[in-house]
Structure 1
Amino acid sequence: MKIDWKKEMKSWGIMLAVFAFLYFTGLITPIMGGVQSLLLATGLKKPKIILVDREHQEFDYTGRFVDMQGNMVDLRDFQGKTVFINLWATWCPPCRAEMPHISEMYKKVKDTEDLEFLMIALDKDFEKSKKYIDGKGFTFPVVHAAYGLNNSLQSQSIPTTMVVSPDGEIIFYQEGMSNFDTEEFRNFLTSQK
């Protein structure tokens, strides 16, 4: 079988040109996020409610954030509650992929007593985060890490999701995207007392 190098180079050139176009126009992030969100919707990637390396670690409640209205949010105000925390950024396709699923879960559990959501935006420019959230119509609480992150919130990658128990222990920790809108995870989240 003889390889037609001209045809092969043309094919690679077209693929490279498409990728370059998507990259330089900024379309690659929303497209990749959409494709990854479809993957999550299949139910193949679910959260494993098992702690790997942060089991029984005490959560550090020192820290402040700024909410979408410009108000100060103090982590100490979340003590004694179950807290779903997600670290994300608009430039992160896996973060974008899991957002619709987190949004759907939030709608289903938001009225649970003593359950709080803290979606922590890591974009340098919080206006980008706000524009993204508003554009998608997400209603979960979003704050900006304007003052940095304490040791409990430090992560090797994003998205990172954790759940803190009312006792102040990290009871769930995951780096990477997942579809959190499952019956198992919702039950786990709402059963913490």
Structure 2
Amino acid sequence: MNWKKEIKSWGLMLSVFAFLYFTGLMTPIMGGVQSVLLSTGLIKPKITLTNKETQNFDYRGKFTDMQGKEVFLEDYKGKTVFINLWATWCPPCRAEMPHIESLYGKVKDNENIEFLMIALDKEAKKSKDFIDQKEFTFPVVHAGFGLNNSLQSESIPTTLVVSPEGKIVFYQEGMSNFDTKEFMDFLTGEF
């Protein structure tokens, strides 16, 4: 075994990794790779009952939208609400966003469905800059006031769907491609 060659190979790989990490390119590159993986259809939302489902959703809380206006959760009562918790520093969050944008484009005219993309970055400006750069059109709010118990999760991205009756009918931690016929039928159907 040629140890010098092996050390050079490892050194080159570590140098590339360090470059990507310290220049801030690691997150967008990993998000892009994961988005391509989602496009293959290998990772789909699990439309099955899990821990928070069938619980009553807590409508207490407020956020700030990307224009600085306060948004209250109680204003979403009586509608089906697709909620996604995300951050700009999260590659899986970035990976699923183009698919969520596509789903939003297909259902945004349905007056019974609302989208609420909740940004968890420390600074709302960072979230706004990212959304503007990507030209996403789904509604985005910043969680500067905190999250209620219904929105607490172990990891991000986390996605919930709340029924018009105020029940959590879908809860998933981790990325997924929500732009599928099965999920759109679920979102637009009766719970």
TM-score bucket of the superposed structures, by smaller chain: over 0.9
Q: Helix, strand or coil for the counterpart of 1:127? A: helix
Counterpart CA distance in 2 for 1:134 and 1:7 is 45
Contact 1:119 1:142 in 2 (8 A): yes
Q: Helix, strand or coil for the counterpart of 1:139? A: coil
Which of 108, 131, 135 in structure 1 is aligned with 2:129?
Answer: 131
Counterpart CA distance in 1 for 2:52 and 2:142 is 24
Counterpart CA distance in 2 for 1:138 and 1:59 is 27
TM-score, normalised to structure 2, is 0.99
Partner of 2:100: 102
- Post-superposition CA distance 1:71-94 (Å, at most 9, x none): 100000001110000000000000
Partner of 1:185: 183
How many residues are aligned here? 191
Counterpart CA distance in 1 for 2:62 and 2:119 is 13
Query: Structure 2: which amino acid aligns with 1:165?
Result: S
* Aligned structure 1 segments of 4 or more residues deviating by more than 3 angstroms: none
Counterpart CA distance in 1 for 2:71 and 2:53 is 26
- Post-superposition CA distance 1:64-111 (Å, at most 9, x none): 000011110000000111000000000000000000000000000111
Contact 1:82 1:192 in 2 (8 A): no
- Say whether 1:148 aligns with 2:165: no
- Say whether 1:77 aligns with 2:75: yes
Counterpart CA distance in 2 for 1:113 and 1:72 is 21
Counterpart CA distance in 2 for 1:142 and 1:52 is 26
Counterpart CA distance in 2 for 1:59 and 1:179 is 24
Partner of 2:159: 161
Partner of 2:25: 27
Counterpart CA distance in 2 for 1:94 and 1:61 is 27
Partner of 1:92: 90
RMSD over aligned CA atoms reads: 0.7
Contact 1:105 1:186 in 2 (8 A): yes
Which runs of 5 or more structure 2 residues have no equivalent in the other structure?
Answer: none
TM-score, normalised to structure 1, is 0.98
Q: Helix, strand or coil for the counterpart of 1:124? A: coil
Instruction: Give how far 1:113 is off.
Output: 2.1
Query: Structure 2: which amino acid aligns with 1:52?
Result: T
Contact 1:60 1:152 in 2 (8 A): yes
Instruction: Give how far 1:55 is off.
Output: 2.5
Contact 1:63 1:75 in 2 (8 A): yes
Contact 1:162 1:172 in 2 (8 A): yes
Instruction: Give how far 1:178 is off.
Output: 0.3
